[in-house]
Amino acid sequence: MTVAIFLGALLGAMALGIPIAYALLACGVALMVHLDLFDAQILAQNVINGADSFPLLAVPFFMLAGEIMNVGGLSQRIVNFALALVGHIKGGLGYVAILAAILLSALSGSAVADAAALTALLLPMMVKAGHDKARSGGLIAASGVIGPVIPPSIGFVVFGVAANVSISKLFLAGIFPGILIGAALWLTWMILVRKEQIVPPPRKTTAEILGALREAAWALMLPVIILVGLRMGVFTPTEAAVVAAVYALFVAGVVYRELHWRQLYAVFVTAAKTTAVIMFLVAAAMVSAWLITVADLPSKVISLLEPFMGNPTLLLIAIMVLCMLVGTAMDMTPTILILTPVLMPVVKAAGIDPVYFGVLFIINNSIGLITPPVGTVLNVVAGVGRMKMDEVTKGVLPFMLAEFIVLFLMVLFPVLVTGPAKWFTN
């Protein structure tokens, strides 16, 4: 009965068009009434406590860093460097999109920000070169999914707070899986582009490549600083976010001189608005998370999944399929906040490494950003690229399939995640 009320209140509120954060609050109130625990003061305390978290301070600073990079020329220089490296290969602009997405993901940690920047910078070039617009948009959308996987990742920050898992370990464990997803996209694009009759631009000279590298060097130093700092224990993920924002501001304003002080207000406002949405979601979700614990919903879920508990692989497959279905209807952050309190006790009871599960969980939710009908990243690419949603959806399908194949390979072969993670952490 408790599970039915939880799902009914949440899905009913969403069906009425109520924003996710308010739907979570409505779900929490419904559970409180059902459990005869309704108290406005408890409700308010949980909302406040949900946002009162030091690790969550990483969110606004990573958001700010991403905005500064897009406005201050860091993203453009990274794309130029990728063009110089692989632009001359047949279908080279597609490889540029993948390589640039991997590099940008190590700067912003936001799929939406990366996809918007790449669409604005590369989609017109790909269409002008003769590539199919829908396929090109689909590739850019699928490449943007790498953003929340390779550190720094806002998704890992939110999951780490909700699941009480080390964010630093999640960051380091996400490096190789993110590169593996990029390799899968590279192979898929290679297969698809063979049939296209497109003349690639001439190969850049060594001097031009070195020039592009020199221009992008300041931007490329940022992920190095963050990863080395985390690996050596110089700073926490929250402090790394502050370092990223300050460094991006210095490079954009002093080195590249593309960010004028008059633009700062708009940059800060944009970052603050995006942050407010995420933080309110987190705060509202903490009400439901507290009630999930009080109502002992995890034990009920464990009993439902009892047939799979003896086989961690089958359990993970069942959970991944569930996340795939949820991802078609919900955005990444609310999915993390709703499912994490329910699934983590199940994962721990089955003896699955929480960091390993966290990586799979975030990858699955990241791919959910390109699964229709909601697909936030699909909407961004369609909007920025002035395309119809069904065109982008058609174009993204082969790349989305490749990403799901990589995900389930990681389920079947955990060493793909745990092996590199041990190497990075040790």
Three-state SS across 57-69? HHHHHHHHHHHHH
Q: How far apart are CA 358 and CA 137, in angstroms?
A: 28
> Are the C-beta atoms of residues 259 and 68 closer than 8 Å to each other?
yes
Is pLDDT at 398 greater than 90 in this prediction?
yes
- pLDDT at 223 exceeding the cut of 90: no
**Would the pTM count as exceeding 0.85?**
no
Q: What is the pLDDT of residue 298?
A: 66
User: Looking at the predicted structure, is the pLDDT value of residue 97 above 70?
Assistant: yes
Tell me the per-residue pLDDT of 226-274, one tens digit each, with 9 for 90 and over.
Answer: 877 877 777 777 888 888 888 888 988 888 888 888 888 888 888 888 7
The total number of residues written for the chain in this structure? 426
What pLDDT shows up at residue 181? Answer: 94
Output the pLDDT for position 2.
65
Question: What is the crossing angle of helices 312-327 and 354-367, to 10°?
Answer: 30
Cβ atoms 79, 96 nearer than 8 A:
yes
Closest CA to 221 of 253, 192, 250: 250
Encode pLDDT of 146-156 as tens digits.
888 888 788 88
Query: In this predicted model, which residue has the larger pLDDT, 86 or 269?
Result: 269
What band does 358 get if pLDDT is binned at 50, 70 and 90?
Answer: very high
- Per residue in 7-40, pLDDT (tens digit) is 777 778 777 777 777 887 887 788 788 777 777 7
Q: Is the pLDDT of residue 93 over 70?
A: yes
pLDDT in tens, 100-138: 888 887 776 677 777 887 888 888 888 887 888 888 899
Q: Tell me the average pLDDT of the chain.
A: 82
Other beta carbons less than 10 A from residue 102's beta carbon = 25
* 131, two tokens: 């590539």
Mean pLDDT of 197-223: 82
